[in-house]
Amino acid sequence: MMGRSKTPADSRVTPCGYDAVPESEINVPLDGHRRGDLEVGKSRLVAVGAVFALAFLGVMARMGDLAIGNMTGTAHALTTVGVQSGEALRGDIRDRNGVVLATTAPMYSLTANPREIRDRESAAESLAKVLPRMSAAEIAARLDSEQGFVYLSRHLSPRQAAAAHRLALPGLSLMEQPKRLYPHGPLTSHVVGFSDIDTHGLSGIERSQDRELTNGASLDLSLDLRVQHLVAEEVAKTIEEFEAIGGAAIVLDVDSGEVLSMVSLPTFDPSAPAEADKSQRFNRASLGVYEMGSIFKLFTAAMALDSGAATLTDSFDASKPIRVGRHMIRDFKPENRWLSLPEVLVHSSNIGSARVAVALGRERQQNYLRRLGLLERAPLELPENGRPIAPSVWRDASTMTISFGHGLAVSPAQTAAAVAALVNGGYKVEPSLIKGGVSGQRQRILEEETSETMRWLMRLVVKRGTGGKSDVPGYFLGGKTGTSEKLVDGRYDRDRRMASFVGVFPMDAPRYLVLATIDEPKPQEHTFGFATGGWVAAPLVGRIVQRTAPLLGISPREDHHDLIETATTVPVALRR
């Protein structure tokens, strides 16, 4: 800091600025000679100031050179080995609103040739003063080698690299080595993925889009970080509430297939993937394949309606269980009577759904499942993409059990895309994590009339059936619950379940789909001992819709024209 100039003895300056000098003395007019002297003084002052400014800028420029690694100098100074001039840094990964999810920072690695270091102990002590998290003993151990090349410290900041350079120790070199940074850490790790120490993609988008990113191209994902945060928060709360081992959720645009949120918990820090175990790195939303339970009843109903195998007014015998080989198909809460197709969904009847599947037939069931994308991997831009597990031999029993979601395991991402096709007018949906979705001509797989009827049926399930706990006033949510027992050592375990719910809103003009699944929820006192999709996942989806809909530009409506009363494809008698 510059010191304060001393004032002459006859000065009238006080600590506050000016003393009480009469105004007449302050404003004394200057004659021409004195005015000229003053102008000359001003000019000299300006010139001197300019010289100092240029000198200051020169010093700052030199310091900048040092800070960014231009560290060549005397024979004893560190040499610099780095990225060749013009080589692009790895491109950024951003969310749909431009928020950076992954970026690359220029950093440096300090290397040594121990053969050229005469006093290794002294060098270690000097380096310990500038290297982060390393003691002199640790550095000395690395220098105690006869090799011609060893790493001392990787990913030094420009400031740390400049400090190492100033030591001017022989035998040391600085290597420019960029580092991949993930500003939002675990929040998007399963989608964004991670890279190795040399910034080569190893998982997620980092791996699938490695070539483009390596060439410096940046990538905009379909994810909305705001939505991702809210979804992750709600899934975490539900996992804790029901003492579950994990969970997943997806928010999908039902027209474009863009994935606005993909959450898998537990998660991991992409900056330190080696510290995570397999369950944390496992993407439950895309890699995990599960029997999705009664959500599949939606597909069974849509197939039957679209093919003409059944109508809304047809009834199916659900008065007693069905024996299939050594097994029995039963209902969780049996109605013990004949059920119409809407009632099969509202009461989530396994027996009724199996009867519908028999009317549909094995071949038509397979064809529709294939068209819906449920018999092959989802075309998702992730290497962590699960392959469906289908029966090796598709027997009549398979046709019945698959109708209510047992015997065919698929990923939540596949399930979400297939349900989207049921409500968007009947067009196939290819889920995408890239902003803009998948381009190309839309492929119709269901009739428009079938799609409108399915929207009515899904709204009916929420208003009058098992999905009631998902309902959010003003958003006209429709959906379906799903509960499945997990296979353990080849047998179903009743105490280990997957509780799921898929919801779409607003049901009269569908925009977004939310699917959530919770792995092994435990029955709770406040749920009266239940841990099913209706008690666990349906309320979760409702909370997600309530919190994210405003962010997506959808406000609750106050009109009372519910789809249940207005669906044109539904007989008037059934709308009441």
| Pairing, β 172-176 against β 79-81 | parallel
Nearest one of 149, 123, 117 to 138, comparing CA atoms: 123
With tokens 């959010």, the residue in question is 472
- Residue at 541: amino acid letter: V
Beta strands across the sheet bearing 79-81: 79-81, 172-176, 108-112, 150-156
Active-site residue flag, 294:
yes
Q: Is 415 in contact with 295 (CB distance < 8 Å)?
A: yes
3-state secondary structure at position 329 = strand
Largest CA distance in the chain: 120
Element (H, E) at 210: helix 210-214
Q: Which of 173, 203, 261, 294 is catalytic?
A: 294
**Considering Cα of 253, then 415, then 482, then 320, what sign does the dihedral take?**
positive
Strand-pair partners of 333: none
| CA atoms lying within 13 Å on the CB side of residue 411 | 26
- Residue at 418: amino acid letter: A
Q: Where are the alpha helices (DSSP H) in 476-557?
A: 533-548
Long-range residue pairs from 130-135, CB within 8 A, at least 24 positions apart, any chain? 130/160, 130/163, 130/164, 130/167, 131/156, 131/160, 131/164, 132/156, 132/160
Cα gap 118→274, rounded to integer Å: 36
Nearest one of 165, 180, 27 to 106, comparing CA atoms: 180
Q: Is 354 in contact with 395 (CB distance < 8 Å)?
A: no
Q: Provide the phi-psi class of 527: left if phi over 0, else alpha when psi is between -120 and 50, else beta.
A: alpha
DSSP, residue by residue, 107-172: -EEEEE-GGG-S-HHHHHHHHHTTSTT--HHHHHHHHS--SS-EEEEEEE-HHHHHHHHHT--TTE
Task: Report the Cα 468 to chain-centroid distance in Å.
Answer: 28
From residue 357, alpha-carbon distances to 154, 288, 314, 362, 404 in Å are 61, 26, 13, 8, 9
> Which residues contact residue 215 at a Cβ distance below 8 angstroms, ignoring those fewer than 6 apart?
88, 91
**Phi, then psi, of 102 in degrees rounded to 5:** -150, 135
3-state secondary structure at position 387 = coil
Q: Which residues are catalytic?
A: 294
